[in-house]
A and B are shown apart, each in its own frame.
Chain A
Amino acid sequence: MERVRESGAKGVVLDVSGVEIIDSYITRILNDIGRSVRFMGADCFLVGVRPAVAMTLVEMGVELDAVETALNLDLALARLERAV
């Protein structure tokens, strides 16, 4: 959060392509980060959610509603650039 302020970042990208399990607790942490970043006026992107993780989250009925999602880092950056 300090880095967002110091650098004047327009966005934060969280890459979870290496994360094989996301449960409701981790979802909450991701949402909290997304909300905090949004409060600071930046966009928060989650990229690289694995297919099995995505399907599991849908089945669990939990929402990742405080972060934007993109397929990968490049697409997230492209969307951030367009938004600037």
Chain B
Amino acid sequence: MAPMTPMAPNTVEGAIGAVLAGSISEITQRSIYRRLGPVAQIAVEDLSEVDRRRVLSDLESSVRLFARNGSTELMAACTRALAGAPTVEPARAGLAVGPKRLPIDAEKDIAAARLDAWSEAVRLGLSKFKSVKVATAVSELARNIVFYAGQGMIELRPRLDEGEPRLEIIARDSGPGIDPAKLQTIFAGTYRSDRGMGKGLAAVKKLTDEFAIETAPGRGTVVTCAFQGER
């Protein structure tokens, strides 16, 4: 097992975990894996057809019970994940260390995520100013998850591409999503929410070197962004 990642992505547990992240809390996930037994630690490639079916049927009842929404889609994704192809790409040559996954469930996780992001940026060799921008962006993304979705996940992916440090951040939740018209006002800077300033997402877009958002009402939100180190 890699030292920096809680679970190896090519195990049954890791493959399912990558799918369930953001939809089912880590604590619940752990109890699901315990129920699966030793088979959870087997590499997906080594899973027999009989075990694969057993794991999926065991999973189905848990997912229906615990997933906040979209249990059918989640089960479909789990089935794909266990079909052999790993859902999380294994550590590539360019990856500095394994990705760090930060569950965001409560107010206190915002501060923790901010600190984790900052130390990750500094460790990767981003400038002091850039690291403050990273921490600020993660703070905004984590706050959006807590405010609007209740829970979700932020993943930090440190990379070294030809010696250039690069930090990719993925914020994922299965909250209410954002409809296209509202999204437009958010990025035009004219949106005002009741609770925040409605500027969080637009601010993140301005801070980051790359920014993409996938969202729709009822489909959750995934923000993918990256900070590039400067020489």
Residues of A within 8 A of B (CB): 20-25, 27-28, 52-53, 55-56, 59-62
Contact = CB atoms under 8 A, between A and B. Distances in A.
A62 B207 contact: no
A59 to B, nearest CB: 6
B128 A52 contact: yes
Nearest to B196: A25
Given A21-B114, A60-B203, A61-B203, 18 more contacts: A20-B132, A21-B139, A22-B136, A23-B136, A23-B140, A24-B199, A25-B140, A25-B143, A25-B200, A27-B197, A28-B196, A53-B132, A56-B129, A56-B132, A56-B136, A60-B199, A60-B206, A62-B199
B216 interface: no
B189 A61 contact: yes
Contact of A28 (B197, B202, B206): B197
A59 B206 contact: yes
B145 to A, nearest CB: 13
Contacts of A28: 196-197
Interface of B: 114, 118, 128-129, 132-133, 135-136, 139-140, 143, 189, 196-197, 199-200, 202-203, 206-207
Contact of A24 (B118, B132, B135, B196): B196
A22 B197 CA distance: 13
B129 A52 contact: yes
17 contacts: A20-B118, A21-B136, A23-B139, A23-B140, A24-B140, A24-B200, A25-B140, A25-B196, A53-B132, A55-B129, A56-B129, A56-B133, A60-B199, A61-B203, A61-B206, A62-B197, A62-B203
Contact of B200 (A20, A23, A55): A23
Contacts of B197: 24-25, 27-28, 62
A10 B143 CA distance: 34
Contact of A59 (B133, B143, B200): B133
Contacts of B206: 59-61
Contacts of B132: 20-21, 52-53, 56
